[in-house]
Amino acid sequence: MWIAVSIALAAVCAGLTVKIVLMKRAMRQVAEEFGARMRDDSDASVGSPDRDADLCRLVDVLNRELHTMRATERACGRSLTDLNRAVANLSHDLRTPLTAIRGYLTLLSETDDPAEREQYLKVLGERTDVMHQLAEELLQYSVIVSENHADETEELSLNTVLAESIAGAYPILSESGITPEVSIPKEHVIRRANKTELSRMFGNLLTNAVRYSDGDLTVTLAENGDVTFANEASGLDPVLTGQLFERFFTVQTGSRGVGLGLSIVRTLAERMGGSAEASYADGRLAVTVHFPNNE
């Protein structure tokens, strides 16, 4: 009997030894293949050289992490490309007014003619405004994407904040020859929000409308909390419209912005639990922000 038990134990030990050797070999193969996948740029998965359930689970976890890392790398690559393009555009947009400012300062110092001095000062003011808007847009975005954003909210009337924003944008609307058609319901649409952020959203939407409008603007507030800014925009198309909310996207350089205005709008809308979208049909651009009632 003891001989039979000894033989059985020896067989078990031999089997376990073989299993351990095979598992170690499989683990080495998995490690080598995982290392190779880390070094190359392919999306190939790590294969399992053994049918052991635990090893297969380990390989599945490694493949999920590997694919997540690849997706993160691609996203970082796209962000870096966007940032490089934005820096190049910003450098161009800053250089243009700076060059003009230097030139007109030289002209201003060389003339005593009151009319010429007034004209030069006007141009200098316009170029300074361009630079101020570029800097302000970047500052807004840096504040908004930081974790230390304003959390103070209150019950606000979208009607009132929207009307105040339109009134505040009167100078830029008037300068562009735009008389907005405004449709606001009599009943107040109340939402809990941060007033500064809400005003910034409406301000960016108005600036965007001025940038792309052919000379008209319709602003509508619906009772369900949808705010729509619509205008004729012959310089856009459905493809460009689909990119308007992307960070650093501009239709062209020198457009008094670095492509963050609508990205800021979407970021703030989502922070409030809402959404922002744009559509383009029959030559008309419509940007809608939905403010849900989260009570």
For residue 246, the model assigns a pLDDT of 77
Tell whether the model's pLDDT for residue 118 goes beyond 60.
yes
pLDDT top residue among 99 and 253: 99
**What is the mean pLDDT of the segment spanning 255-284?**
82
CA 224 to chain centroid: 25
User: Domain spanning 154-290: which superfamily?
Assistant: Histidine kinase-like ATPase, C-terminal domain (3.30.565.10)
Least confident of 5-14, 51-60, 155-164: 5-14
Tell whether the model's pLDDT for residue 259 goes beyond 70.
no
Residues 202-253: tens digit of each pLDDT: 998 998 888 888 989 999 999 999 999 999 998 888 888 888 877 666 665 3
Residue 157: pLDDT band (50, 70, 90) is very high
| Predicted model pTM | 0.58
Residue type, 22: L
Tell which CATH architecture fits domain 74-145. Orthogonal Bundle (1.10)
Residue 141: pLDDT band (50, 70, 90) is low
Residue 77: pLDDT band (50, 70, 90) is confident
* DSSP code for 221: E
Mean pLDDT, all residues of the chain: 80
For residue 244, the model assigns a pLDDT of 82
For residue 73, the model assigns a pLDDT of 80
**What is the mean pLDDT of the segment spanning 27-40?**
74
Report residue 128 as tokens: 């300074």
Residues 167-200: tens digit of each pLDDT: 998 888 888 899 999 999 999 999 998 888 899 8
**What is the mean pLDDT of the segment spanning 109-135?**
83
Report residue 205 as tokens: 């939407």
Residues 236-250: tens digit of each pLDDT: 888 888 888 776 666
Q: State the DSSP string of 81-149.
A: HHHHHHHHHHHHHHHHHHHHHHHHHHHHHH---HHHHHHHHHHHHHHHHHHHHHHHHHHHHHHHHSS--
Report d(CA 291, CA 293) in Å as an integer.
7
For residue 132, the model assigns a pLDDT of 76
Residues of the chain with CATH 3.30.565.10: 154-290
CB 255 within 8 A of CB 249: no
Cα separation of the two ends of the chain: 79
Tell whether the model's pLDDT for residue 284 goes beyond 70.
yes
Residues of the chain with CATH 1.10.287.130: 74-145
Give me the torsion for CA of 184, 188, 192, 197, rounded to 10°. 30
